[in-house]
Structure 1
Amino acid sequence: MRIRSLMITMVGVAVAGASVYASKEFLQVQPATASIEQNPGLVSVVVAGQDIGFGTTIEGHKLTTIMWPAEAVPPGTFENFSTLLPQNGDDPRRAKRAMAQGELVLANKVSDFGEKVTITQTLGKNTRAMAISVNAQTSVGGFVTPGDTVDILLTQGGGDSLRAVTILQNIRVVGVDQQADEMNEQANVAKTVTVEVTPEEGQKLALAQQAGRLSLTLRTLDSVVDEPMESIRLSDIIRDKSPTEEGPKMTVKVRRGATAMEEVEVAEREDELQIVN
């Protein structure tokens, strides 16, 4: 019995010693593992934790932080909330651009503390905001929203002199009535649409509004090459026959050689006939 008890005691001491040694090794390895997981190539950046609309206040519950590759961090990012949120009762910052959830919060997308945010902050360099009158028919049934791009057409004259021409192409819509939030996709029938134009385009648009009726055509998201377009008159689309209808073909008989005769088609021109070979 004594030998058995001694052996049990020795085994217990050995197990306890092994446990202490294992615990010591774990505590020594744990900090090294944590430092590896932190990855020195990543830094913390602030992103939108939810969709943030144009002009809304920047608040802590709307933000979050994620890890970002240090070599790919764009200029103007915020590493934490301290420089982004107001301190000591200061007025908050506001969104100068609409931001989607997960989007980087950059300095050029937010105002200074207490700064007023208006549609002016959405305009590009040396551009202007100009409003035009529209209705359901001239604004694509109300489906034009802030952030869309449109072409602007002018319809002018009356009777046989009625004509239409595209005066501006690829124009960005910055506001619909009093709504300038590009995150708002709700379609509304507007009375005015505000567009972003250059000073020269603004002059053309001002004259066009006085000359006739303006209409908008909503452009595709796919990139296209804009080309100058000729005006179209009413006489160009009103014809005696459908554009796809072919009239009777004019033919003549032509002698081939001494005795052979062949019937060929001719194309009519203004002052002459041309044989189509």
Structure 2
Amino acid sequence: MTRPKAVIVVAILALVFAGIAAWLTFHYLQKEMDKTKAVQPQPLVVAAADITIGSAISEAQLKVTSWPKDSIPAGSTADLKSLVGRVAIRPISSGDAVTESKLKPKVGAAGTGFMTYIVPPGHRATTVAVNEVAGVAGFITPSDRVDIVLTTAIPGSPNENISKIILQNVPVLATGQITEQKEGKPVIVPTVTLDLTPDDSEKLVLAGSKGSLQLLLRNIADSAPIDARGATIARVLAGTPMQATPAPVAVAAPAKAVQKRPARKKVAAAPKAPRATEPKAPAPAPAKGHTVTVIDGGVRTTKEFVLQ
């Protein structure tokens, strides 16, 4: 090969290798640039404080912070004003991103009801009306757990009532008020919305139509079931000393006519066996004299006269 041809071949190979190196360098730098853009922080609205379920979000509960672009959750926003006044349907912890899936849909959108988001799948929200006493004096709040007592007449014994726990450890979804008409006037009645299975909902609705309901507030750490036998007035008063009642006076029954029994026939007594002859006592000896007692002036004198 002549010298000019060798120079041309070397130049061509150098250009090829240079092109390959440039192409590899470009791709490497492109990847590094993409990585840099991915981790570049972006503005995002997060919770500045804990937001409880069912509460309307205020501006003080939100803040804008930097968030890695490649990990921004879907449904989030950087516009803080657009989230003010929205209602949280899930608890939002401080620092969490506020997304649409955690908020009640805007007015006019499908599924704008609040309760439908907090009812567990397969359960039903059941509302019952209670009075101030049955509602534990207003101390029941959402997320509490209660037992439900029914007081009604015993089937077959309409004059005797029984109180029995029919549902236990029931979660409370919400509390509220409804207006009813009583004696022609509107009356505000407290209500409690409970989280129940369909079977328990049927029991509660039927129980409410047959008697009065009472709610028993449980301790937050007490979830163990109990054996409820029910209470009747006889069990409540068992062992209580009662005032003794006077014994009823016995009334004499009228005397019954005495029936005469037929006279029994006398049976002739059997002749007695003759007794053995007993020896006779000796006859007293004939008296040989007489004794005379003479009393003269208090002096007593006895004289004996002998017969001749």
TM range (shorter): 0.5 to 0.7
Residues 104 and 114 in structure 2, CA contact (< 8 A), matched pair in contact too: no
Aligned to 2:116, the other structure's residue is in SS state helix
> Which amino acid letter does the alignment assign opposite residue 131 of structure 2?
N
CA deviation vs aligned residue, 1:215-267 (integer Å, no higher than 9, x gap)? 0000111143214422222211202437xxxxxxxxxxxxxxxxxxxxxxxxx
Letter in 2 for 1:137: V
Counterpart in the other structure of 1:252: none
Which residues in structure 2 correspond to 1:149-188 (within 5 Å)? 149-157=145-153, 161-178=160-177
- Name which of 106, 111, 118 aligns with 2:114: 118
- Matching residue within 142, 146, 160 for 2:142: 146
Report what 2:198 is aligned to: 199
Whole-angstrom CA distance in 2 between matches of 1:219 and 1:193: 15
Whether 1:94 aligns to 2:90 is no
- Name the residue aligned to 1:14: none
Secondary structure at the aligned position of 1:150 is classed as: strand
**Superimposed CA distance per residue, residues 98-122 of structure 1 (whole angstroms, 9 cap, x where no aligned partner):** 5465566465422345442422222
In 2 relative to 1, CA 230–45 (structure 1 residues): closer, same or farther, beyond 3 Å? farther
1:45, 1:78 within 8 Å by CA — same for their partners in 2?
no
- Supply the AA of the counterpart residue of 1:233: T
Q: What amino acid does structure 2 have at the position aligned with 1:219?
A: R
Note the C-alpha offset of 1:154. 0.2
Structure-1 separation of matches of 2:96 and 2:215: 31
Larger Rg: 2
Match of 1:135 in 2: 131
Offset of residue 86 of structure 1 = 4.3
Aligned residue type for 1:241: T
1:3-50: CA deviations, max 9, x gaps?
xxxxxxxxxxxxxxxxxxxxxxxxxxxxxxxxxxxxx8x999854224
Alignment of 1:14-163 (within 5 A): 47-52=46-51, 54-55=53-54, 58=57, 61-64=60-63, 77=73, 81-82=77-78, 86=82, 93-99=86-92, 101=94, 105=98, 108-114=101-107, 115=109, 116-157=112-153, 161-163=160-162
C-alpha distance in structure 2 between counterparts of 1:140 and 1:45, whole Å: 43
Secondary structure of the residue aligned to 1:162 is strand
Residues 77 and 107 in structure 1, CA contact (< 8 A), matched pair in contact too: no
Mean CA deviation greater in 170-179 or 142-151: 170-179
Paired residues, number: 186
- What SS class does the counterpart of residue 191 from structure 1 fall into? strand
Aligned-pair RMSD on alpha carbons? 4.1
Identity of aligned residues (%): 28
CA drift of 1:82 comes to: 2.9
Aligned equivalents of 1:78, 1:55: Cα separation in 2:
22
Task: Say if 1:106 and 1:221 are closer, same or farther in 2 by CA, change over 3 A.
Answer: farther
Tell me, which stretches of 5 or more residues in structure 2 are unaligned?
1-38, 179-187, 242-308
- 1:209 is aligned to 208
CA contact (8 A) 1:46 1:79 kept: no
Greater relative CO, 1 or 2 (CA 8 Å, sep 6+): 1
Query: Which residue number corresponds to residue 4 of structure 1?
Result: none
Q: Give the whole-Å Cα distance in 2 for the aligned partners of 1:104 and 1:44.
A: 11
TM-score if structure 1 supplies the norm length? 0.53
Q: Which residue of 2 aligns with 1:238?
A: 237
Q: In the alignment, residue 136 of structure 2 is paired with which amino acid? A: V
